Amino acid sequence: MSNPPVNAPSQSSPRSYRYYDLIMAAFVCVLLCANLIGVSKVATVGGVTFGAGNLFFPISYLFGDVLTEVYGYARSRKVVWAGFGALAFASLMAFVVVHLPPAAGWHGQDALEASFGSTWRIALSSLIGYACGEFANSYTLAKLKVRTGGRFLWVRTIGSTVVGEAADTLIFYPLAFAGTWSTDLLLQVMLANYALKVGWEVVATPLTYRVVAFLKAREHEDFFDRDTNFTPFSLDT
């Protein structure tokens, strides 16, 4: 009997995916940009008041839906923690850079503080809201996929976004701005942002279908979380 080749993969070797790392990188990129650019700005367009950064933040939920739908909750969980680490480092770096004493003759401190001078309260609220929202989104989609037998993708993507964005919105805005914004403004921004995020997911549903179908065909994967450990405090896949 001949021996197997030395480099032959074992049956227990983890799956290797072509696009997983690229989606993780895109997810973290969108997350950082959405949380660093315009997170504190309140804009009014067509009589609707909303947080400017939330025009693009829902894209991260689209990536989260795709990751969980194709690769499963455990691999999506790893990406959520990668995003959390990136946000934490970005917040720390912004704090250090903003608070370094400016050199004599340099006049950009005010602009730097206005752009990246988020308080510890806003940074911490963003981290907590993000983690709770993303894990709620991924958990809901994974459970719905098993319950529906993999049918009705639109129910999973929209339903998970309804739950995840609700958790994020209800945690972030009160923690970050209660007491500094008026109650009316806080509620107005929360409702507008929530509607914007969920509406974004509805509009993006045809795109989600195409991306999911492409990845399932190319990766030969369509994971069902029937025996998954859903604790968020793990990096096991």
DSSP 8-state assignment for residue 40? T
113-117, 187-191, 233-237: least confidently modelled range: 113-117
Q: Any idea what the CATH number is for the domain that residue 188 is in?
A: 1.10.1760
Please report where in the chains the tokens 């809201």 appear, as a residue.
129
In a domain, 24, yes or no: yes
In a domain, 141, yes or no: yes
40 — pLDDT class (breaks 50, 70, 90)? low
DSSP 8-state assignment for residue 150? T
Q: What kind and span of H or E run contains 49?
A: strand 48-51
Nearest to 116 by CA among 135, 92, 139, 133: 92
Nearest to 83 by CA among 19, 125, 26, 137: 26
In a domain, 148, yes or no: yes
When divided into structural domains, the chain yields a total of: 1
Give SS3 for 20: helix
pLDDT tens column, 74-90:
999 999 999 999 999 99
pLDDT tens column, 177-206:
999 889 998 999 899 889 988 999 999 999
The share of the chain scoring above pLDDT 70, in percent, equals 93
In a domain, 2, yes or no: no
The pLDDT assigned to 117 comes to: 80
Q: State how far the Cα of 131 lies from the Cα of 61, in Å rounded to an integer.
A: 12
Please report where in the chains the tokens 């790893």 appear, as a residue.
78
Average pLDDT estimate for 44-65: 83
The pLDDT assigned to 103 comes to: 95
Contact of 121 with 180, CB cutoff 8 Å: no
Instruction: Please say if the pLDDT value at position 8 is more than 50.
Output: no
In a domain, 12, yes or no: no
Q: State how far the Cα of 164 lies from the Cα of 145, in Å rounded to an integer.
A: 16
Give SS3 for 155: helix
Q: State how far the Cα of 23 lies from the Cα of 219, in Å rounded to an integer.
A: 13
In a domain, 104, yes or no: no
Provide the residue range defining the domain that includes 166. Answer: 20-99+111-219
In a domain, 209, yes or no: yes
In a domain, 233, yes or no: no
